[in-house]
Amino acid sequence: MATPSHVVPLRALLIGLPLLSLLIVFQLLHRPAPLPTPLRTHAHAQPSSAAAAEAEEALVNSPSSLSSSSSTTPARESQLRSEPTSLRHVVFGIASSSRTLPLRLPLLRLWLRAPARAFLFLDAPAPAPVVAGGLPRGLALRVSADASRFPYTHPRGLPSAVRVARIAGELVAALRQEEEEGRRAPPRWLVLADDDTAFVLPNLLRALREYDHREPWYLGARSESAAQNAWHGFAMAYGGAGIAVSWPLARRLARALDSCVLRYPHLYGSDARIYACLAELGVELTHEPGFHQIDLHGDISGLLRAHPLSPLVSLHHLDHVYPLYPGMDRTRAMKHFFRAANADPARILQQTVCYDRKRSLTVSIAWGYSVQVFKGNVLLPDLLAVQKTFVPWKRGRNVTDVYMFNTKHVPRDECKRGALFFLKSISSGEGKTETTYNRQPPRKCSHDLMPLRNLSMIKVTAEQLRLVPGKALRRHCCDILPSPSDTTMDINIRKCKDDELIAMHS
């Protein structure tokens, strides 16, 4: 019987099988080893030391790292994506006006520095003397596009809120053009703020490094005032404190912004419009406690002395509160503040509490700002509550004095308050800082009734605080050192031991 043409003869099959097996074995033995799978870069990666941080900044600021993505190799693109976020990856969109710009330039000069870039949007061209006087490095002025076609119906707000909300879209469009022309790679983060907002940039970077910039992140903080949140919303980031949006989300926001603004003419501010648009994109706020709107008036020292454990990122409304340090105007006070913030950014305003068991004293340090010394044993939770030295943002009969943190009243009798000291000087070297704090005498308490009336100066020594993203934060401890005189007090801040309690008796 003839074999069909499509059937392999049995003899040929028996001969071919061993040859085929030998060929397969030969190929397996001589195949090149596969390339290792690239490691997924952890969003928390960062330099582990000051030297590594300097090396990282040098790398990301080198000319080769600033080339556009179209001219880089796949390996270089992978390297750029894995680099920790640095200042060159952040762009600021700052809301201002031709009237307020001259008043706010001193504050901008204090915190803004290259390679960070900031675009300051005005309602009209800046006055010629302002431009002639020079701008901070990295700052560019732009006049906002005409927004008169967009409705605004809130009865008590300002239509300029529409112009300010559209800054995000205008800025993304401008940077997209730079990217398409091959002049610059896109940033990782867009940070929106007002011209009276001050940032501690190293702490902002630390906060941003906690998040994968390729994902849709919306970061910021609520108002300190419960009433403000009730009126405007608990779910949004308040614009004065700063709003950080990852760049992929910023691009989506820019595409939807104008149509979104048309749907929300009744909202009060620009930040409410940004929130509404991001909510429509399915993104919610991630709260970062280091951002501060400062919806308060008067003396905010009580808030600053009880800053949360998170590093300070921003302060807003500084023109609406007293100067941070007594005896100074606002400009001098902010310069004084930034001397400490630049010396040890992670530690600025961090509260450290220690106890002198022999003399029964309690000391609360807001590093770089002030020190309070109390007679007796003041329990730690009482010191962590914010002293209400300020008054509410809104005033009137129906305003509730309720805030988004624990508060306590300040004794009316100044003689019953703790001894108060404010930062006098700071020096740093070899990874350590030494700060001194001078006594601020009470105005309505005689010298004979003053608590600890002989104590006039406190010196605090500490190692510079190095924080690693992804690691849990823990409050530091401190020791009151023996002193030859009752006019001075020496304190050393250190890490707490594993099981150490911050208490008078433990």
pLDDT, one tens digit per residue, over 3-62 is 344 444 444 444 554 555 545 444 544 444 333 333 233 333 333 334 434 433 443 333
What is the pLDDT, as a whole number, of residue 50? 41
Instruction: Give yes or no for a contact between 310 and 473, defined as CB atoms under 8 angstroms apart.
Output: yes
CA distance 312 to 303: 12
Largest pairwise CA distance in the chain: 128
CA distance 147 to 144: 8
pLDDT digits (tens, 9 = 90+) for 382-398: 999 999 999 999 877 77
Tokens 């300190």 belong to 224
Q: Which long-range contacts (CB under 8 A, 24 or more apart) does 171-174 make?
A: 171/91, 171/93, 171/119, 172/250, 172/251, 172/253, 172/254, 173/254, 174/119, 174/142
Q: Where in the chain is the domain with CATH 2.70.130.10?
A: 347-494
DSSP for 268-335 reads: SSHHHHHHHHHHHTT---EE-TT-----EEE--HHHHHT--SSPP-EE--GGGB--SSTTS-HHHHHH
Closest Cα partner for 196 from 277, 307, 97? 97
* Residues 6+ positions from 217 with CB-CB distance below 8 Å: 211, 244, 245, 246, 249, 283, 286
What's the 3-state SS for 29-62?
HHCCCCCCCCCCCCCCCCCCCHHHHHHHHHHHCC
Instruction: Give yes or no for a contact between 164 and 215, defined as CB atoms under 8 angstroms apart.
Output: no
Model confidence pTM above 0.85: no
Closest Cα partner for 229 from 219, 217, 237, 240? 237
CATH fold of the domain at 84-287: Spore Coat Polysaccharide Biosynthesis Protein SpsA; Chain A (3.90.550)
Helix (H, G, I), strand (E, B) or coil at 403: strand
CA distance 98 to 143: 9
* β-sheet bridge partners, residue 479: 492
Phi-psi map region of 167: left, alpha, beta (phi>0 left; psi -120 to 50 alpha): alpha
Q: Where in the chain is the domain with CATH 3.90.550.50?
A: 84-287
Tokens for 58, please give them: 């040098």
What is the pLDDT, as a whole number, of residue 56? 39
Tokens for 277, please give them: 């648009």
Low pLDDT (below 50) residues in the chain: 1-14, 17, 22, 24-26, 28-72, 76
Helix (H, G, I), strand (E, B) or coil at 142: strand
Q: Kindly report the CA angle at 343 between 338 and 344, in degrees rounded to 5? A: 100
Q: Find out whether the peptide bond into 115 is cis, omega within 30 degrees of 0.
A: yes
CATH fold of the domain at 347-494: Cation-dependent Mannose-6-phosphate Receptor; Chain A (2.70.130)
